[in-house]
Amino acid sequence: MLVKKLYKNKAIFYGNDGEYCEENNKNVIKHTYSDFEGLIYYLCLTCFDLLGQSSKNHVSYMDWLSLKESELFFDKIGSSDLREISKKGLLEYNKRYGATKSFKYFINNILNEEEQQVLFKSLFMQAPTGEYIKFTDSEKINFLSKLRNNFTHNLITAGEPLEGFITGSNPMLEAVLRSTEITRKKFIYERKNKNWIAVVNWPNTLLEIIENQIKK
pLDDT higher for 9 or 19? 9
Q: Identify the pLDDT of residue 69.
A: 82
Q: Identify the pLDDT of residue 73.
A: 81
pLDDT higher for 23 or 127? 127
Q: Is residue 177 part of a domain?
A: yes
**SS (HEC) of 127-157:** CCCCCECCCCHHHHHHHHHHHHHHHHHHCCC
pLDDT tens-digit map of 146-186: 999 888 877 778 887 666 665 545 666 666 666 666 677 78
Q: Is residue 101 part of a domain?
A: no
- Rounded to whole angstroms, the Cα distance separating 184 from 89 reads 45
pLDDT tens-digit map of 11-63: 777 765 545 555 545 555 567 778 888 899 999 999 998 888 765 666 777 88
Q: Identify the pLDDT of residue 165.
A: 63
Q: Is residue 204 part of a domain?
A: yes
Q: Is residue 131 part of a domain?
A: yes
Q: Is residue 88 part of a domain?
A: no
Q: Identify the pLDDT of residue 199.
A: 92
Q: Is residue 81 part of a domain?
A: no
Q: Identify the pLDDT of residue 186.
A: 83
Q: Identify the pLDDT of residue 44.
A: 95
Distance linking the first and last C-alpha atoms of the chain: 15
pLDDT tens-digit map of 67-104: 888 888 887 887 778 888 888 878 887 777 766 778 88
Q: Is residue 79 part of a domain?
A: no
CB-based contacts of 84, cutoff 8 Å, min separation 6: 77
- Rounded to whole angstroms, the Cα distance separating 156 from 56 reads 32
Q: Identify the pLDDT of residue 170.
A: 61
* Number of domains into which the chain is organized: 1
**Extended beta strands in the chain, E state:** 20-23, 28-31, 123-126, 185-190, 196-200
What residue numbers bound the domain in which 156 lies?
2-7+20-56+112-215
Q: Identify the pLDDT of residue 173.
A: 62
Q: Identify the pLDDT of residue 161.
A: 62
pLDDT higher for 127 or 154? 127
Average pLDDT over residues 117-139: 92
Q: What is the pTM of this model?
A: 0.74
- Rounded to whole angstroms, the Cα distance separating 61 from 190 reads 35
Q: Is residue 103 part of a domain?
A: no
Q: Identify the pLDDT of residue 175.
A: 67
